[in-house]
């Protein structure tokens, strides 16, 4: 679960910056290209033995409880539990983080949104447990995550060059139909 959470969007290495960094809304074609990242991510991590089990969580991290997600449109308990847990955590993180196009939402607003989406986007049982956690606890976790992110960025080494990527080019090529088609 930890590996999957850290690497959930690794498949975005195969999505063009034009799509990933586009400031405005995506076209249908661009959105379809973006949606490939979860299946590509699964194919990348499945080639690494020490990441066993992370692949299916990554593949399904954009599925929805009501079956309207991607890549497979599965729903309910067909979605791996790890993916259902991560989907709610990822949404919580996204909504409580500042973005260039909007400020972070308050925890109260996030709670309302998650309650609203229980049974459609999120597993209602997971959402119910989430909603029993006092807001102060989530606030402390948010602050702790922000401190850790700040410390990590302060001590980060310069971005690695493509030659020093931890993923050999042949792994990426075999993993990604997008890259392989270039």
Q: Which residues bind Fe ion (CB under 5 A)?
A: 9
What gap in Å lies between CA 151 and CA 76, rounded to an integer? 38
132-168 burial, b at 16+ Cβ within 10 Å, e below that, comes to: eeeeeebeeebeeeeeeeeeeeeeeeeeeeeeeeeee
Minimal distance, residue 100 CB to Fe ion, in Å: 18
Output the smallest distance, CB 61 to Fe ion, in A: 6
CB of 19 to Fe ion, least distance (A): 13
Cis bond leading into 71, ω under 30°?
Answer: yes
**CA proximity to 105, closest of 142, 137, 141:** 142
Closest CB 93 distance from Fe ion, rounded Å:
12
Q: How far apart are CA 96 and CA 163, in angstroms?
A: 35
Distance, in Å, from the CA atom of 38 to the CA atom of 161, rounded to the nearest integer, reads: 24
> Least Å distance between CB 113 and Fe ion?
18
- CB closest to Fe ion, residue no: 9
Specify whether the CB–CB gap between 172 and 13 falls below 8 A: yes
Whichever of 17 and 136 has its CB closer to Fe ion, that residue is: 17
Between residues 100 and 157, which has the closer beta carbon with respect to Fe ion? Answer: 100
Structure tokens at 43: 């194919």
Q: Which is nearer to Fe ion, 34 or 118 (CB)?
A: 34
Say how far apart CA 107 and CA 45 lie, in whole Å.
33
Of 9 and 66, nearer to Fe ion (C-beta) is 9
- Which residue's CB is nearer to Fe ion, number 20 or number 48? 20
Which residue number, 91 or 128, has a Cβ lying nearer to Fe ion? 91
In the complex, the smallest distance separating the C-beta of residue 97 from Fe ion, rounded to whole angstroms, is 14
């Amino acid at each position: 679960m930890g590996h999957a959470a850290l690497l959930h969007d690794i498949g975005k290495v195969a999505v063009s910056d034009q799509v990933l960094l586009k400031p405005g809304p995506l076209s249908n074609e661009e959105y379809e290209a973006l949606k490939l990242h979860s299946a590509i991510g699964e194919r990348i991590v499945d080639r690494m033995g020490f990441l066993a089990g992370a692949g299916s969580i990554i593949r399904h991290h954009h599925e929805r409880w009501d079956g309207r997600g991607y890549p497979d449109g599965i729903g309910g308990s067909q979605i791996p539990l790890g993916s259902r847990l991560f989907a709610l955590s990822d949404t919580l993180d996204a909504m409580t983080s500042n973005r260039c196009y909007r400020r972070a939402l308050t925890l109260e607003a996030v709670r309302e949104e998650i309650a609203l989406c229980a049974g459609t986007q999120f597993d209602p049982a997971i959402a119910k447990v989430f909603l029993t956690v006092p807001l102060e606890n989530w606030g402390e976790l948010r602050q702790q995550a922000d401190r850790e992110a700040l410390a990590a960025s302060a001590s980060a080494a310069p971005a690695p060059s493509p030659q020093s990527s931890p993923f050999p080019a042949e792994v990426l090529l075999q993993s990604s139909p997008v890259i392989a088609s270039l």
